[in-house]
Chain A
Amino acid sequence: MDAFWIIVTGFLVASSTGMLGNLLLLRRMSMMGDALSHAVLPGIVIAYLISGSRASVPLFLGAIIMGIITTLLIQFFSSKGKMQADAAMGTVFTFLFAVGVILVTKYAGEADIDADCVLHGEIAFVPLQTSSFLGLGVPSPVWTLLGLLALVQLVFWIGYKGWLITSFNGEYAKSIGIKTAVWHYTLMAATSVATVVSFESVGAILVIAFLVVPAATAYLITDNLKRMTLYILLQGLLSAVLGYFLSEWVGGSISGSMAVASFVLFAGSFIWSKKKG
């Protein structure tokens, strides 16, 4: 049963972050996903320290705020501070991440959070925190992740047309009166929330694997956005299953193995797309 819940968790993380990764990929902002996943760390630690608990509403709030702050800071540095765009991003997120790591080191004892947790999460502990539902012991992180998946799907499909237009032709979208900035910040906030929710299970650094690789795999196979979504879900499921068994086999980190499995699937679709021409 433990294996089942771990795989379910992996799948939920991959599928919800993958949907957002899809948008990041189309908007050529994949490294922004990397930046956000690093930058929300101080927010997470501070929220832990203040609320004293995990998986709580303040945590999400903290993440959204942190994500927006990061985006605003990057914008400020590049427009007002006249830093070149990539350097502004690199400066902001590495700084925030460094602050996060310092906080983690300093308050490791108090906040129930440590450096390993930052690196690869604690997906193996997911089955330990169960609550009963219909006679089934469902781990609480699964509920949170289900909520995240629902939220991401909702945001994605409600804004489907908006995402489509702003992703493919920002100038055109602006000219017909679509508020591109609103879409931009929604995506940034959603990515931050997804990062924080996934943080517990896969850690701050490996989130990027779940954000980008499933989306890239699907992107190589199809151009159709709806079908892409389906493939992302499928890729998430497969990499969770394969990753879990890989980690059982070699006896290493589960989330790391899932990232490796995910890459293997990406490589597969890469070769397939080359053969197909």
Chain B
Amino acid sequence: MDLFLKYLTLQDPNVRYVALATLLLGGVSGAVGSFNFLRKKTLVGETVAHSMLPGVLIAFLLSGVKNPYILILGAAISGWLSILLVDFITQQSKIKGDSALAIVLSSFFGFGIVLLTVIQSNYGGEQSGLDHYIFGNAAAMTPDDSTAFAWVSGLVLLLVLGFYHSIKSVVFNLEYADAIGINVKFIDGLISFITILSISVGIKAVGIVMMSALLIIPPTAARFWTNGLVKLLLLSGFFGALAGWLGAFVSYSQVSMPTGPWTIVIISLIAFVSMLFAPKRGVIYQRWSKLLLKRRINEENLLKTAVQNEVRGLGKLFNRRSISQRQFFEQRLWNRTVRRLRRKGLIKKVHTGFTLSTEGRSYGAEIDRRHKIWEIYLQRRMQMSINLVHDEAETMEHFLTPEIEAEILGELGLCSRFNPLLEIHELVPDNAINAV
């Protein structure tokens, strides 16, 4: 806890760079990743990140120093080459996109591993730390690295803001963007450019093998909470920043722990929690609302059938058997539905069965009314056969809202208090409709 406080309050000057850098990195890559996420091209990041290994190493070999700007440049160039190569392979041969990604990824990475092992055996102290690029080590970051991060983050932010509308159009509707005169190729290249840029600065902190996750997972998590692009970008950036910052803390508190894997574990947990608990799109919410819907449908079916039985002169008393003649209820389902309806005061228990309360009767009648309105609508406006309308209406009766109902009645030219309750299935026969 003390350690966490120390990390939080930035007392240790080294921590300042690390915390700032990982925060920026997570934020930027989360936001940038959103564009690739929305274009369903998330796995491009995986290939680009792996393909940067040889670039970093060649940049080191050529310059002989571990200057962050030079290494970033090297990484960016080889990342760019990998994208070009993937495009070239898919355009010039029958190899499909995902295979091309896998081919380029493995070849570049294999080449990088060869270079790395050669460098490790031929260079002494000055090469040490190059292997951090593979699994990432935020603790080894220097002030220079942080400054480089800040510059690149600023540049990415500027580009996104400057071209926001064009990027948005391209991401959501390529054809439309093309049609309204946006230079799609340029924007396409721009998205690739900012992707490469953020990956190339990030690999030192989180590592090549993990970097792609930092582009994929934050937008995936954020998508559960929002439908808007701006919110998605912000939230995704926030999740990324949070994970980067916490991941760096783990790495800081336990010296041998690499930053990348912890960052990814944390962001994955955020994604899992989002998937389960997010309102509207979360798994639990969806399950719950489905259950509620099922319950409501059962209750409404029971009430409706009871009302219909009353109208048919079968008496006010009902039980499972009398209802099941028209609407089958299994014993357990019956018990549960009846229990809920009694609790709501919609039905009452009398010694040999159940009766509807006043509210229950009007509720059931309302459902029956909607059923018939929909039947009439289908028959008169959609020219559907009388034999088919009932099944359709069985479903629709649970979903008709008062607004839709009013509109339908208006269109059919019926008064708003139209009550077909007493005329059960007294619809116009098919041939009469055909005659009109």
- Interface residue ranges, A against B (CB under 8 Å): 25, 28-31, 33-34, 38, 77, 80-91, 94-95, 97-99, 101-102, 105-106, 115, 119-120, 205-206, 208-209, 211-213, 216, 219-220, 246-247, 250-253, 255-260, 262-263, 266, 270, 273-274
Contacts and interface: CB of A to CB of B under 8 A. Distances in A.
B113 interface: yes
B95 A260 contact: no
Contact of B42 (A87, A106, A219, A250): A87
Contacts of A106: 257
29 contacts: A25-B95, A30-B96, A30-B99, A31-B98, A33-B102, A82-B286, A84-B37, A87-B37, A87-B223, A88-B220, A91-B216, A91-B220, A94-B217, A95-B265, A97-B209, A97-B264, A101-B209, A105-B258, A208-B102, A209-B110, A251-B117, A252-B117, A253-B116, A255-B110, A256-B112, A256-B113, A260-B111, A263-B103, A266-B107
Interface stretch (B86-94, B158-166, B321-329): B86-94
Nearest to B101: A31
B260 interface: yes
B283 to A, nearest CB: 6
Contacts of A87: 37, 42, 216-217, 219-220, 223
B40 interface: yes
B121 interface: yes
Given A30-B103, A95-B268, 17 more contacts: A83-B220, A84-B220, A86-B41, A87-B219, A90-B212, A98-B264, A101-B135, A205-B50, A209-B109, A212-B102, A213-B107, A252-B114, A256-B112, A256-B114, A259-B109, A259-B111, A260-B111
B245 to A, nearest CB: 16
B118 A219 contact: no
Nearest to B266: A98
Given A86-B43, A119-B134, A209 B106 contact: yes
Contact of A250 (B43, B93, B114, B257): B114
B106 A213 contact: yes
B59 interface: no
Contact of A30 (B98, B209, B275): B98
Contacts of B89: 270
Contact of B113 (A84, A211, A253): A253
Given A84-B40, A86-B42, A253 B114 contact: yes
B116 to A, nearest CB: 7
B283 A102 contact: no
Interface in B176-222: 209-210, 212-213, 216-217, 219-220
A257 B109 CA distance: 10
B221 to A, nearest CB: 8
Question: Which 7 pairs show the lowest CB-CB distances between chains A and B?
Answer: A259-B110, A209-B106, A256-B113, A94-B213, A263-B107, A90-B216, A98-B264
A251 B110 contact: no
Nearest to A213: B103
Contacts of B223: 83, 87
B302 interface: no
B262 interface: yes
B68 interface: no
Contacts of B217: 87, 90-91, 94-95
A247 B114 CA distance: 8
Nearest to B45: A90
Given A206-B109, A212-B106, A266-B103, A220 B93 contact: yes
Interface in B233-283: 256-258, 260-262, 264-265, 268, 271, 275, 281, 283
Among A33, A97, A211, A216, chain B packs the most CB atoms within 10 A around the CB of A216
Contacts of A250: 114, 118
B160 to A, nearest CB: 20
A266 B110 CA distance: 14
A58 B172 CA distance: 48
Interface string B30-66: 0000000100111100100010000000000000000
A201 to B, nearest CB: 14
Task: Output the residue of A246, A259, A270 with the most chain B CB within 10 A.
Answer: A259
A19 to B, nearest CB: 15
B93 A273 contact: yes
Contacts of A212: 99, 102-103, 106
A205 B109 contact: yes
A38 B42 CA distance: 16
Given A219-B94, A260-B107, A98 B213 contact: yes
Contacts of A95: 213, 217, 264-265, 268
Contact of A102 (B43, B102, B216, B265): B265
Contacts of A88: 220
B103 A34 contact: no
Interface in B292-348: none
Given A30-B99, A256-B111, A90 B220 contact: yes
B94 A90 contact: no
Given A212-B106, A270-B93, A28 B257 contact: no
A261 to B, nearest CB: 9
A105 B257 contact: yes
Contacts of B46: 31, 34, 90
A97 B210 CA distance: 9
Nearest to A86: B42
Contact of A86 (B40, B111, B113): B40
Nearest to A273: B93
Q: Which of A33, A38, A252, A273 has the most CB of B within 10 A?
A: A252
A219 B99 CA distance: 11
Given A31-B43, A31-B101, A87-B216, A98 B265 contact: yes
A82 B264 CA distance: 21
A273 to B, nearest CB: 6
B15 interface: no
Nearest to B136: A101
